[in-house]
Amino acid sequence: MSGKLSRRDFLKYTGMGSAAAFAATYGMPLGTALAQAPPGDTAGHLVIYNFGGTEQQRMFGNAIARFNERYPNVLVEDLYIPWPEGWGHYITNLKLRAASGLKTDIIAIAIEGTRETIFEDLVLPMDDAIAADEELAAIVDEVEPVLHNALKGADGQTYYFTREWNNMIIHYNPVKFEEAGLDPPAVDWTWEDFLETASILTTGEGGDKQFGFAIPFFNFGLTPWWHTNDTSTLTADWSQSNLDDPKMLESVKFVHSLVHEHGVAPSVEGVNPYELFPAGTIAMTGAGRWPFDTYVTTGYKDVDITPWPRNRKGTTVFGSGGWAVSKTTENVPLALELIKDLAAFETDLEAVAVGTSLPARRSATENELFNSFPANAHRFFGSLEDIKPVPSPANFAEVESIFMRHMSQIMANSVTAEQGLEAAHIELSAAMDKLAERLADG
């Protein structure tokens, strides 16, 4: 595959114009080189390995329709894995396809899976293609840099074009706040303010019991508690366990205390905050934009968003998804043309209407539709000022399962926070050592 065009090689071709250079590198007939993109009558077959909910599927279907207007003779197959039960299964399926020599041209994946696909050599590097193609470069430029950079490989190379993103932000019920005589939370509120607010909002008994908060009890949902305390489960370069950090212990103890010491949140096991919140059983929870799809379709209105309460810092977490060209594709330029439609501004506009994720471009949110609900919708993009991606090393699935297993034991009071984190640290360190070995062999 000639995809590994280096910057120096590229410069040699500059006399021919960047478009021709790009086309020549990918072995296209010279006649079409200046047009850069494959001609509109190109016949072909592209397979997308994709994921998402029903509305996203419809939205990407529209992108494919736009592509087919330009390339009517290209058959696009949008293969689909329903919301995967963890990314491990999704990636295994992808590897099985690769090992079996099954056709895959475009790969969609969330940040949790990007490093693994890069390490396993499933996706093509894109830096040179971006340099050679103004349209691709424009797509990258329009996306918030922090989002784009998070999907890069450990080598700093771009492999993925941003597909969508979600952060963690507090969802609160303004009616419950008003009933309790509380002002909406200040944007710079602290853990103490949060605890006090949650205590006031925890009322009633039996069937009337209301909790101040429900803990989103999964890896991504817990991460803001680490980030706002200037720490994380892994070191900053995602290479080693950071669970021996005293700030992690402090954070874990705080989460534990919400249920066990202060009783402001229900016991986490079996609880789905996104069912309880619209039912009025809880006054606050944490999520990205994803529950808004259901809020809108069910006509639920009593919700607004506010930044995560801070302790040492105001940093929250985000996760993004991306589109990459599969290493096994036979027609890179054609796949790139399809990505241009999938990652187009039009798709971002539709994402605004759908409400399960945030669009890659801020400009897509500068409209009435996005900003009318929730009232403080601008805080979604506002959070980008102080945000870090969810730590996503190549062994993400393993890291997640190790940490959450110990975390659930801590929440169940089977072990103390100290014991649980210590055991998790030992296990996670071993897993990260193994990863380092694997990457070195790679």
Partner 1 sequence: MQKSGLLPELTPKRREAFVGYMFILPTYIGFSIFILYPLIESVRISFQEFSLLRGSTYVGLENYVQMFADARLRIAYINTIIFTLFAVFFNAGIGLILAVMLNRRLPILMRNLYRSVFFFPVLIAHTYIAVIWRFLYQQDTGVINYYLGVFGVEPIPWLSNAHWAMAAIIILDVWKNTGFAMLVFLAGLQSIPNEYYEAAQLDGANERQLFFRITIPLLSPTIFFILVIFMIGALQVFDTIIVLTQGGPGDATRSVVLYVYEIAFRTFNMGYAAAVSMTLFAIILILTALQFWISRRWVHYE
Partner 2 sequence: MAQTQAPAFKQAKPSPAKGRKPVNIGDIFSYAILTIAAILVLMPLAWMFSTSLRPTHESFQLPPAWLPTKFSWENYVAPFESSVPFVDLFINSMRITVAVTVGQLVTCSLAGYAFARLRFPGRDLLFLLLLGSLMVPFQVTIIPIFLLMRDLNLIDNPLAIILPGLISAFGVFLMRQFFKQMPQELFDAARVDGAGHVRSFFQIALPLAGPAMATLGIITFNATWNAYFLPLVFLNSWHKMTLPQGIALLTGYMGSGNPSVVMAAVTMAILPVLFVFLAAQRWIIEALTRSGLKG
Q: Which of 180, 409, 164, 399 is nearest to 289 (CA)?
A: 164
By the rule CB under 8 A, 401 interacts with partner 1: yes
49: tokens are 């390995």
DSSP tag of 15: G
Give contact residues for partner 2 (rule: CB under 8 A). 49, 53-55, 57-58, 61, 77-83, 89, 93, 96, 99-102, 206-207, 209, 216, 218, 221, 272, 274-276, 278-281, 287, 290-291, 293-294, 297-300, 356
What character string, x for contact with partner 1 (CB under 8 A) and - otherwise, covers 110-139? ----------xxx-----------------
Residue 341 binding result from partner 1, partner 2, none, given CB thresholds of 5 to 8 Å by partner type: none
Query: Pick from 166, 231, 281, 365: which binds partner 1 (CB under 8 A)?
Result: 281
Distance CA 342, CA 324 (A): 11
By the rule CB under 8 A, 92 interacts with partner 1: yes
Burial class (CB in 10 A: 0-12, 13-18, 19+), 121: exposed
Q: Measured from the CB of residue 368, what is the shortest distance to partner 2 in angstroms? A: 24
Task: Give 10 or 274: the residue with its C-beta nearer to partner 2.
Answer: 274
Q: Measured from the CB of residue 192, what is the shortest distance to partner 2 in angstroms? A: 28
283: tokens are 């006054």
Task: Give 5 or 214: the residue with its C-beta nearer to partner 2.
Answer: 214
Task: Give 82 or 145: the residue with its C-beta nearer to partner 1.
Answer: 82
Q: Measured from the CB of residue 350, what is the shortest distance to partner 1 in angstroms? A: 29
- Cis link prior to 266 (omega < 30° from 0)? no
By the rule CB under 8 A, 411 interacts with partner 1: yes
Task: Give 6 or 54: the residue with its C-beta nearer to partner 2.
Answer: 54
In sequence order, which residues have a C-beta less than 8 Å from that of residue 364 and are 6 or more positions away? 345, 348, 349, 351, 352, 370
Long-range contacts of 4-9 (CB under 8 A, 24+ apart): 4/125, 4/128, 5/128, 6/128, 7/127, 7/128, 7/131
Distance CA 106, CA 311 (A): 41
By the rule CB under 8 A, 270 interacts with partner 1: yes
H helices within 6-119, ranges in order? 7-12, 18-25, 54-70, 87-99, 111-119
Residue 53 binding result from partner 1, partner 2, none, given CB thresholds of 5 to 8 Å by partner type: partner 2
- Alpha carbon of residue 161 to chain centroid: 12
Distance CA 280, CA 52 (A): 28
169: tokens are 């932000």
Distance CA 83, CA 68 (A): 26
By the rule CB under 8 A, 424 interacts with partner 1: no
Residue 411 binding result from partner 2, partner 1, none, given CB thresholds of 5 to 8 Å by partner type: partner 1
Strand, helix or coil for residue 253: helix
Residue 190 binding result from partner 2, partner 1, none, given CB thresholds of 5 to 8 Å by partner type: none
Q: Measured from the CB of residue 103, what is the shortest distance to partner 2 in angstroms? A: 10
Distance CA 213, CA 202 (A): 8
Q: Which of 50, 131, 68, 105 is nearest to 335 (CA)?
A: 105
Task: Give 100 or 372: the residue with its C-beta nearer to partner 2.
Answer: 100
Q: Measured from the CB of residue 70, what is the shortest distance to partner 2 in angstroms? A: 21
Tell me which stretch binds partner 1 (CB under 8 A): 38-46, 228-236, 334-342, 410-418. Answer: 410-418
Q: Measured from the CB of residue 127, what is the shortest distance to partner 2 in angstroms? A: 30
Q: Measured from the CB of residue 57, what is the shortest distance to partner 2 in angstroms? A: 5
Distance CA 383, CA 318 (A): 9
By the rule CB under 8 A, 206 interacts with partner 1: yes
Tell me which stretch binds partner 1 (CB under 8 A): 32-40, 50-58, 72-80, 201-209. Answer: 201-209
In sequence order, which residues have a C-beta less than 8 Å from that of residue 264 and are 6 or more positions away? 195, 198, 199, 201, 202, 211, 212, 213, 258
Q: Find the length of the chain.
A: 442
Residue 290 binding result from partner 1, partner 2, none, given CB thresholds of 5 to 8 Å by partner type: partner 2
Residue ranges that bind partner 1, judged by CB under 8 A: 85-86, 88-89, 92, 95-96, 98-99, 120-122, 206-207, 209, 211, 266-272, 275-276, 281, 395, 397-398, 400-401, 404-406, 408-409, 411-415, 431
